[in-house]
Amino acid sequence: MSRTLELLPAVDVRDGQAVRLVHGESGTETSYGSPLEAALAWQRSGAEWLHLVDLDAAFGTGDNRALIAEVARAMDIKVELSGGIRDDETLAAALATGCTRVNLGTAALETPEWVAKVIAEHGDQIAVGLDVRGTTLRGRGWTRDGGDLYETLARLDSEGCARYVVTDIAKDGTLQGPNLELLRNVCAVTDRPVVASGGVSSLDDLRAISELVPLGVEGSIVGKALYAKAFTLEEALAAVAS
């Protein structure tokens, strides 16, 4: 098992643009231009992963499917694809981009039988996003309650889910620091790797998340902090190198 925290710079796409949201709320977008340019910039800076999100698909306001596929296919690095992957058709389209894995959110809450089926079929290519306010999961672009974090986690563990992407929505896009307690609590009840998401603001935040690697935290998504130039990706990669 790797002892170095993986970093996944984020490219969240809304209406064809790379954006950042606050608390994942529609209407709070700050635009950062071309998603392809952003993704290529993270790749040039040494990223080994890209976290690529179709926000329109997540919110149900359309999709950026062609653009997302173009970005994913242009990458030489691993891609984690998220947003609106909820049935056989959207899963097939996502996997056809050549991405390394997909991140399911709403489907894990609304169609658990389908999620159990695709976990069995695709194994490590499927991660589940556990997006929470407190300990309540949120689906449909984080707009609707979807049950208890720990009950859902126990169910997904029993179904063989390979990995979880854990987001504290209250922290997401706020530069207020990650919810380390949430990450510790999730790691305490599952032996599956956890990818942290939401709130990273500084290199010290990344060092603090790195300290959770022995507990099961495998990686950290970084969005706003990179776009706001709180630090560079090169500095972040150096900070977590062991």
Ligand X SMILES: O=C(O)c1ccccc1NCC(=O)[C@H](O)[C@H](O)COP(=O)(O)O
**H-type alpha helices, 45-138:** 55-59, 65-74, 88-95, 106-110, 112-122
Residue 199 in contact with ligand X, rule: CB under 6 A:
yes
CB of 167 to ligand X, least distance (A): 5
- Give min distance, CB of 143 to ligand X, in A: 8
Is residue 193 near ligand X by the rule CB under 6 A? no
204 in active site: no
Please identify the residue of the shown chain whose CB is closest to the bound ligand X: 223
Q: Of 28-36, 39-47, 202-210, 218-226, which part binds ligand X (CB under 6 A)?
A: 218-226
Q: For this structure, is 12 an active site residue?
A: yes
Q: Given the DSSP bridges, would you call strands 78-82 and 49-54 parallel, antiparallel or unpaired?
A: parallel
For 24-37, b where at least 16 C-beta lie within 10 A, e where not — what string? Answer: bebeebeebebbbe
**Which 31-50 residues touch ligand X, going by CB under 6 A?**
none
Query: Which residue in the list 131, 168, 172, 205 is annotated as catalytic?
Result: 131
Catalytic residue among 12, 54, 63, 168: 12
| Helix or strand (DSSP H, E) at 227 | helix 224-227
Tokens representing 31 are 């635009």
Closest to ligand X by CB, 140 vs 155, is 140
Q: For the CA atoms of 119, 132, 240, 81, what is the dihedral angle to 10 degrees?
A: 40
- The maximal CA–CA distance of the chain, rounded, in angstroms, is 42
Binders of ligand X in range 117-146 (CB under 6 A) = 129, 141-142
Stretch of 28-36, 68-76, 217-225, 231-239 contacting ligand X, by CB under 6 A: 217-225
Q: Quick check: 200 binds ligand X (CB under 6 A)? A: yes
Question: Which amino acid type is present at position 60?
Answer: G
Q: Which of 35, 139, 173, 219 binds ligand X (CB under 6 A)?
A: 173
As a whole number of Å, the CA-based R_g of the chain is 16
In the complex, minimum distance from the CB of residue 186 to ligand X, in angstroms, rounded to a whole number: 15
Contact 196, 228 (CB under 8 A): no
Q: What is the residue whose two structure tokens read 């990669």?
A: 237
User: With contact defined as beta carbons under 8 Å apart, do 106 and 99 qualify?
Assistant: no
Q: In the set 7, 38, 53, 75, which binds ligand X (CB under 6 A)?
A: 53
Q: Residue numbers of the site for ligand X (CB under 6 A)?
A: 10, 12, 20-21, 24, 51, 53, 55, 58, 82-83, 105, 129, 141-142, 167, 172-173, 197-200, 221-225
Catalytic residues: 12, 131
